[in-house]
């Protein structure tokens, strides 16, 4: 990554992190997906905490996600997970986005809790191609009415599932260290004339496995990789699938070159006829 791009990304990331927050739905009594009032909390599996006013849209987004084999398989995996309680809810400040957090680990260092908060307008809004080459690529297809907002919402759900999968393989110590060091890193960066070669920053980056931009990119691109996996399933029989994957490829080449292999692997997975120009 060149220095100027890194500085620009660090600055925009600091802005992003200041406004980002994983909220929880408050104010209304939650009920489970089958319409029963929520009872004793489950300890493992998949818990859906959806307020009645969002129930209908939630069911549509979920049905879209489950219309693919990959969506079904991932849903099943978390529904029957032996250790993890994954909560899905709608609310938060980021109405067109989503967030994953509320991570907890057990004594053995295994992830036992995570919460996905979906925005109430998840079916609209396309995030920037810089960090979201997959979700962003859908935009022209919606304006041409080739896909609907429900597909966009389901793709965002897949992105969040990608975060949960990645965090499951991230050691708790490393995650906590990143949470602790990133604000200190950013503070020094803002006060040292944006010098990423500052020995203090170099040392911090080494300890936490990258600078804040690299950590952020790596997490987001894991989310996007899973979003791509979902879309591959969802659009494989559509005439436009290669146009869509071509658009993703161009965005990855432009903004996520260091992570290209991750996306190329997915493109190649279903055999040569579906690579759509990926090596």
User: What residues make contact with Zn ion under the rule CB under 5 A?
Assistant: 220, 223
In sequence order, which residues have a C-beta less than 8 Å from that of residue 224 and are 6 or more positions away? 131, 132, 133, 134, 135, 159, 162, 263
Q: What is the DSSP string of 114-157?
A: EEEEE-TTTTS----TTT-HHHHHTHHHHHTTSS-HHHHHHHHH
Query: Cα dist. 143→140, 146, 150, 190, 268 in Å?
Result: 5, 8, 14, 40, 28
Query: Cα dist. 248→27, 35, 66 in Å?
Result: 39, 38, 23
The nearest distance, CB 108 to Zn ion, in angstroms, is 27
Give the nearer residue to Zn ion in terms of CB position, either 149 or 223. Answer: 223
216 touches 131 (CB < 8 A): yes
The nearest distance, CB 220 to Zn ion, in angstroms, is 5
The nearest distance, CB 221 to Zn ion, in angstroms, is 9
The nearest distance, CB 44 to Zn ion, in angstroms, is 24
30 touches 89 (CB < 8 A): yes
**Which neighbouring-strand residues pair with 220?**
none
Which among 218, 187, 217, 219 has a CA at the least distance from the CA of 204?
Answer: 187
Give the nearer residue to Zn ion in terms of CB position, either 58 or 131. Answer: 131
Give the nearer residue to Zn ion in terms of CB position, either 30 or 159. Answer: 159
Give the nearer residue to Zn ion in terms of CB position, either 186 or 226. Answer: 226
What span, in angstroms and rounded, lies between the C-alpha atoms of 142 and 148? 6
Give the nearer residue to Zn ion in terms of CB position, either 133 or 223. Answer: 223
The nearest distance, CB 155 to Zn ion, in angstroms, is 12
In which order are the strands placed within the sheet that holds 45-49? 45-49, 85-90, 111-118, 98-105
The nearest distance, CB 135 to Zn ion, in angstroms, is 9
By beta carbon distance, the residue nearest Zn ion is: 223
What span, in angstroms and rounded, lies between the C-alpha atoms of 195 and 198? 6
Give the nearer residue to Zn ion in terms of CB position, either 51 or 92. Answer: 92
The nearest distance, CB 158 to Zn ion, in angstroms, is 11
What span, in angstroms and rounded, lies between the C-alpha atoms of 201 and 185? 6
Q: Which two tokens stand for residue 176?
A: 């906590």
Give the nearer residue to Zn ion in terms of CB position, either 28 or 258. Answer: 258
The nearest distance, CB 15 to Zn ion, in angstroms, is 16
Give the nearer residue to Zn ion in terms of CB position, either 51 or 119. Answer: 119
What span, in angstroms and rounded, lies between the C-alpha atoms of 112 and 228? 26
């Amino acid at each position: 990554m060149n220095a100027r791009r890194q500085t620009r990304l660090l600055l925009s990331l600091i802005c992003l992190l200041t406004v980002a927050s994983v909220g929880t739905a408050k104010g209304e009594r939650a009920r489970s997906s089958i319409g029963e009032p929520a009872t004793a909390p489950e300890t493992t599996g998949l818990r859906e905490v959806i307020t009645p006013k969002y129930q209908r849209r939630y069911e549509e987004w979920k049905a879209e996600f489950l219309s693919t084999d990959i969506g079904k398989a991932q849903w099943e995996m978390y529904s029957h997970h032996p250790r993890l309680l994954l909560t899905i809810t709608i609310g938060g400040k980021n109405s067109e986005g989503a967030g994953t957090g509320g991570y907890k680990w057990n004594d053995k260092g295994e992830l036992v809790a995570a919460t996905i908060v979906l925005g109430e307008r998840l079916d609209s809004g396309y995030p920037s191609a810089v960090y979201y080459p997959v979700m962003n690529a859908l935009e022209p297809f919606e304006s041409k009415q080739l896909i609907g907002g429900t597909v966009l919402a389901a793709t965002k759900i897949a992105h969040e599932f990608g975060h949960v999968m990645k965090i499951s393989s991230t050691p708790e110590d490393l995650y906590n260290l990143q949470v602790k060091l990133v604000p200190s890193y950013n503070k020094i960066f803002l006060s040292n004339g944006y010098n990423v070669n500052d020995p203090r920053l170099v040392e911090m980056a080494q300890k936490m496995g990258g600078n804040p931009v690299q950590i952020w990119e790596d997490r987001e691109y894991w989310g996007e990789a899973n979003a791509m996996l979902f879309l591959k399933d969802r659009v494989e029989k559509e005439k436009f699938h290669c146009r869509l994957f071509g658009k993703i490829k161009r965005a990855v080449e432009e903004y996520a070159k260091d992570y290209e292999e991750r996306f190329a692997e997915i493109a190649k997975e279903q055999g040569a006829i579906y690579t759509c120009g990926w090596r």
